Amino acid sequence: MDRTNTPYGNHQFGIYSAGLKGELPILPLRYEDLEARAREVLDPAAYWYVAGGAGEASMAANRHSFDRYPLFPRMLTDVSERDLSTTVLGKKHATPLMLAPLGVQEILHPDAELAVARAAADVGVPMTLSTVSSYPMEQVKSELGDTTGWYQLYWPNDDELATSLVQRAEKAGYEAIVITLDTKMLAWRERDLEGAYLPFLQGKGLANYTSDPVFCAGLDKAPDEDVVATVKHWSQVYASPERSWSDLAKLRAATNLPLILKGVLHPEDALAARRAGMDGVIVSNHGGRQVDGSIAAIDALAGVVDAVGDHMSVLFDSGIRRGADVLKAVALGADAVLVGRPFAWGLACAGEQGVAEVLRRLLADIDLTLALTGHDRIDRLTRAALASTRY
């Protein structure tokens, strides 16, 4: 760990500052500028698929609701050494940052999840791999090496396929299954509808299916011999809108891995997750991509933490853009946060290096903000670190 002293602190991430080494940054630093750079290099439909939401009010609310929780800096505390480590599912993580599952990354870069896994391993940030990824889960895990990987399940309507995907993930070395609940059908997303764009319909993002024996058993020909039939079969099995809480028992029985529900916003749903024997929840509104007009994710966090935080891991995503956002979520009770679109833009602009760059910057900003608000251990943050009276 490089602990050279600099005006940005004596910590492992602050030294990142390329400016101090006389180098210009390889990517724009401000989120909006990074997104604009990615827009220049991407096909417009792909750009809008990532940038867009359902409507876009909740996407905006995800950002401006962070303003309701101002940090309340304290002075003259010893912050010469900082510790960003946190515990998730009983395991120590070096930092509270994780990569959110983002599907179909081949629309951003040909190396897609392989590049992201290499960057995650390089920086030491755990990765969550989407079911709708562009490379099979086994290949992605081998790029991740010993770095923690979680597998995100889009829960298909075929129990045998669900079991197969989950057991493959366990065998490949993923450490938890994230079951995404908020995407049992795609929302009304004007940007994609206007461009008549859904990458899966072109056969993209289906690698975990086309490498699965149960999925392939439902096809007459090999997946690449009849892409139209493969896509049709995928669209028939992808989701299961009829499922209810009691169905979770089947997934519980299918694997020994911890199960985490993603997309929980209401405290009653968090309590139901606990009753169903789940190990964690991710408070998320899917980055504003599903229910426009829904509660901003950060506004839902405290309620979920108060309901189940003593009994299960609570994570957060939707709107994380900078260090202060991470501190606010942790202060409200999240054990860790997942970052989404920022790393997508890094991937689009500069592949593996771009993702690593985005992660390092975010870690540097988290570390500096922790110090400058007067704290030395992120896992000791409480709501007292905030000036808000909203929780």
Ligand X SMILES: Cc1cc2nc3c(=O)[nH]c(=O)nc-3n(C[C@H](O)[C@H](O)[C@H](O)COP(=O)(O)O)c2cc1C
Within residues 118-177, the interface with ligand COI by CB under 6 A covers 132
Give yes or no for residue 62 binding ligand COI (CB under 6 A): no
Tokens 């251990």 -> residue? 377
Q: Is 286 a catalytic residue?
A: yes
Joined together, the tokens standing for residue 253 give 């029985």
Rule CB under 6 A: choose which of 18, 60, 186, 271 binds ligand COI. 186
Residues that bind ligand X (CB under 6 A): 49-50, 100-103, 130, 132, 152, 180, 262, 284, 286-287, 289, 317-320, 340-341
Binding-site annotation, residues: 49, 101-103, 130, 152, 154, 180, 189, 262, 284, 286, 289, 317-321, 340-341
What DSSP string runs through 247-284? Answer: GHHHHHHH-SS-EEEEEE-SHHHHHHHHHTT-SEEEE-
Nearer to ligand X, 103 or 346 (CB): 103
Give the other-Cβ count within 10 Å of 171's Cβ.
Answer: 11
Q: How far apart are CA 125 and CA 105, in angstroms?
A: 18
Tokens 């916003």 -> residue? 265
Nearest Cα to 62, choosing from 374, 342, 356?
Answer: 342
Per the DSSP assignment, residues forming a β-bridge with 178 are: 152, 260
Catalytic residue among 11, 93, 233, 286: 286
Q: State in angstroms the smallest separation of the CB of 318 from ligand X.
A: 4
Give yes or no for residue 45 binding ligand COI (CB under 6 A): no
Q: State in angstroms the smallest separation of the CB of 183 from ligand X.
A: 7
Nearer to ligand COI, 158 or 306 (CB): 158
Give yes or no for residue 285 binding ligand COI (CB under 6 A): no
Within residues 73-112, the interface with ligand COI by CB under 6 A covers 103
Q: Provide the 8-state DSSP code for 125.
A: -
Q: How far apart are CA 331 and CA 382, in angstroms?
A: 5
> Are 341 and 50 contacting, i.e. CB atoms less than 8 angstroms apart?
yes
Binding-site annotation, residues for glyoxylate: 49, 154, 189, 286, 289
| Amino acid in position 40 | E
Just list the catalytic residues: 286
